[in-house]
Amino acid sequence: SMQLAARARRADLLFKAQDVFEHETPAGLAAVAHSAAREASAPDTGAGEVPWTPVMRELGEHAVRPKLTQWMTVGAPGDLEQDVLVSALNAVADTHDMLRAAVVPGEAGPRLVVGERGPVDAAERIGRVDATGAADGDLDGIAGRAAREAAEGLDPSAGVLFRVVWVDAGPDRPGRLALAAHHLAVDGVSWRILLPDLEAAYEAVAAGRKPELDPVPTSFRRWARLLAEQAVRKERTAELEEWVALLGEPEVPLGHGPLDPARDTAATVRRSSWTVPAGPARTLVNRTPAVFHCGVHEVLLAALAGAVAHWRGGNAPGLLIDIEGHGREPVGDADPARTVGWFTGVHPVRLELSGVRTAEVPAGGPAAGELLKTVKEQARTVPGDGLGHGLLRHLNPGTGPVLAALPRPQIGFNYLGRFAGTGTGGTAAWQPAGDAALGGSVDPDMPVLHAVEAGAVLRDTPAGPELTLTLSRPAALLDDASADRLGRLWLDMLAGLAAHTADPAAGGHTASDFPLLDLAQDEVDELEAGFADDLS
């Protein structure tokens, strides 16, 4: 939705990413779209001090340490010229202000400050690796190592928030570009903005033209200031009671006890991964969301919740899960569709599955549909848009201590979205290269925030889309056998949802699909049944 809004802007059609979900059809979007000529706001350069956002405050001092990084490896044109790349990167840094940010000392602690356009010299941020003698199959590995080395050279206190390494494979074949950035400057969505801009800037310079990238309507600085303003507004503070009720009931520890911040650090984390092959994955990301009127993330979340509920046993209380999302929710008239920065938002949900027959879900019967509809509805009943939890917890001194005293979810969940994989154009210029094209690092001493971090990513392969599921956990809390059982249960739940989708009777709406009406699920079912009878 954000990419669609950004592309429409290039054609002088303005609408927000949220409009894509609310209006859905081209006709609906046409009714709300307007011309850029109607926008008469003053230029937003983004320069100056940037308030710390909720996700930055959550990590505290670790947010400004050099090792909190992300990187991507992409294909490089076979005829790439380094001086052209330097000019292109300078144009990108001029356009996206957070690439010019630095962490500077202040009387009350570190400050995040964005410099004016122009002072970044990209030539100092570019390295080159000679890979002319390397085999084609080794290039992705070389690029991955180059990305890690580039990430190690980042230093927020020196204003070095990005570095690039050109893996030069020679003029007759595509090389690689390893791009590393500090997390203060980028998030997962940011890469989808930066890569097309870098390509456009490079092609312009190579053709002898001055790069003219699409403007950024909302700077990250403005966005962060809007969050600080929102955190103390009455409509946000009114959400506090609901958040307290949602988090108030403590959970039974998932593993061998509660998290210990001194023991359970990033250095102790173990990871396990599983793959959903192309056949069922295609169903889960296309057909299942369509018939149940939900998102891919809700399908994955439902299967995860069902797996945890079954793993813990039928008498376990409701499950708390922290949902990580892109965080680019509408705030006033701000449009962050073109903005690069760390927008990530996290909010808790409470899922009560005592009425769902989770043991029957893998068989693909009606229980699978019950699970998905139950989780879909409960995940959508958070206060407001979900953004308020982080605002009240980290940016409001009056409400922050109240939320800090409550239990926090033991599980975190993040769906990273869809990426190209090896064999689907991954070695094409400016496209992600290799199965591990997106990576990152954290400070080894940073305390983990959850007993289990569940992640999912969709990669396109020659056989079709594949889902990769990952469970990360501190070694002292969850042993390998327990993690493996939980991961396989997650797979089983997804298999059940895919099988259930093939049933002609599967799917249907839920109450949240009709936000203007006050309907119970049985009333929704009755309406749908009546509509089906009218069509028969």
Phi, psi of 231, rounded to the nearest 5 degrees: -60, -20
Task: Report the distance separating Cα 352 and Cα 377, nearest Å.
Answer: 11
- Comparing 50-54, 105-109, 203-207, 516-520, the range with the smallest average pLDDT is 516-520
Nearby residues of 388 by Cβ (< 8 Å), 6 or more positions away: 230, 236, 239, 243, 347
Task: Report how far apart, in Å, the C-alpha atoms of 195 and of each of 72, 141, 202, 476 are.
Answer: 10, 20, 11, 39
* pLDDT exceeds 90 at position 43: no
Q: Give the strand pairing for 269-276 and 162-168.
A: unpaired
In this structure, the answer to whether residues 164 and 256 fall within a common structural domain is no
Task: Report how far apart, in Å, the C-alpha atoms of 519 and of each of 506, 507, 510 are.
Answer: 20, 17, 9
Do 463 and 278 meet the contact criterion of CB atoms below 8 Å apart?
Answer: yes
In this structure, the answer to whether residues 204 and 297 fall within a common structural domain is no
Residue 306 placed within a domain? yes
In this structure, the answer to whether residues 414 and 536 fall within a common structural domain is no
Residue predicted with more confidence, 131 or 426: 131
Residues facing 175 on adjacent strands: 76
Residue 438 placed within a domain? no
- The stretch 224-251 carries a mean pLDDT of 95
In this structure, the answer to whether residues 417 and 306 fall within a common structural domain is yes
pTM for this prediction: 0.89
CATH code of residue 454:
3.30.559.30
Residue 462 placed within a domain? yes
Task: Report the distance separating Cα 31 and Cα 26, nearest Å.
Answer: 9
Task: Report the distance separating Cα 421 and Cα 394, nearest Å.
Answer: 37
In this structure, the answer to whether residues 31 and 168 fall within a common structural domain is no
Task: Report the distance separating Cα 76 and Cα 428, nearest Å.
Answer: 7
pLDDT in the model for residue 28: 56
CATH code of residue 212:
3.30.559.10
- The stretch 93-122 carries a mean pLDDT of 93
Tens-place pLDDT, residues 457-491: 998 888 999 999 999 999 999 999 999 999 999 99
Identify the band that residue 29 occupies on the pLDDT scale cut at 50, 70 and 90. Answer: low
Helix/strand number for the chain, H first, E second: 18, 14
In this structure, the answer to whether residues 147 and 172 fall within a common structural domain is yes
Q: Give the strand pairing for 452-461 and 411-420.
A: parallel
Do 189 and 340 meet the contact criterion of CB atoms below 8 Å apart?
Answer: no
Residue 230 placed within a domain? no
The DSSP annotation for 289-315 comes to HHHHT--HHHHHHHHHHHHHHHHH-TT
Residues facing 165 on adjacent strands: 127, 178
What is the tally of structural domains in the chain?
4
The two tokens of residue 67 are 């090792």
In this structure, the answer to whether residues 499 and 516 fall within a common structural domain is no
Residue 431 placed within a domain? no
Q: Which of 247, 257, 265, 261 is nearest to 408 (CA)?
A: 247
Angle at 395 between CA 392 and CA 399, to 5 degrees: 40
* pLDDT exceeds 90 at position 147: yes
- The stretch 1-16 carries a mean pLDDT of 56
Task: Report the distance separating Cα 160 and Cα 172, nearest Å.
Answer: 33
pLDDT in the model for residue 40: 42
pLDDT in the model for residue 118: 82
Residue 436 placed within a domain? no
In this structure, the answer to whether residues 481 and 515 fall within a common structural domain is no
- Comparing 13-22, 298-307, 343-352, the range with the smallest average pLDDT is 13-22
Identify the band that residue 524 occupies on the pLDDT scale cut at 50, 70 and 90. Answer: confident
In this structure, the answer to whether residues 395 and 304 fall within a common structural domain is yes
Q: Which alpha helices (H) appear in 313-379, and where do they start and end?
A: 366-379
Residue 205 placed within a domain? yes
- The stretch 512-534 carries a mean pLDDT of 78
In this structure, the answer to whether residues 287 and 186 fall within a common structural domain is no
Residue predicted with more confidence, 20 or 419: 419
Range of the structural domain that residue 298 is part of: 241-330+341-425+444-505
Residue 235 placed within a domain? no
In this structure, the answer to whether residues 397 and 304 fall within a common structural domain is yes
Tens-place pLDDT, residues 374-428: 999 999 999 999 999 999 999 999 999 999 999 999 999 999 998 876 544 447 8
Task: Report the distance separating Cα 268 and Cα 253, nearest Å.
Answer: 18
* pLDDT exceeds 80 at position 336: yes
* pLDDT exceeds 70 at position 30: no
Mean pLDDT of the chain: 90
In this structure, the answer to whether residues 212 and 247 fall within a common structural domain is no
Q: Which of 272, 485, 314, 301 is nearest to 409 (CA)?
A: 301
Angle at 532 between CA 527 and CA 534, to 5 degrees: 95
Task: Report the distance separating Cα 224 and Cα 219, nearest Å.
Answer: 9
Identify the band that residue 264 occupies on the pLDDT scale cut at 50, 70 and 90. Answer: very high
- The stretch 238-265 carries a mean pLDDT of 93
- The stretch 94-98 carries a mean pLDDT of 96
Task: Report the distance separating Cα 420 and Cα 438, nearest Å.
Answer: 11
* pLDDT exceeds 80 at position 34: no
- The stretch 216-235 carries a mean pLDDT of 96
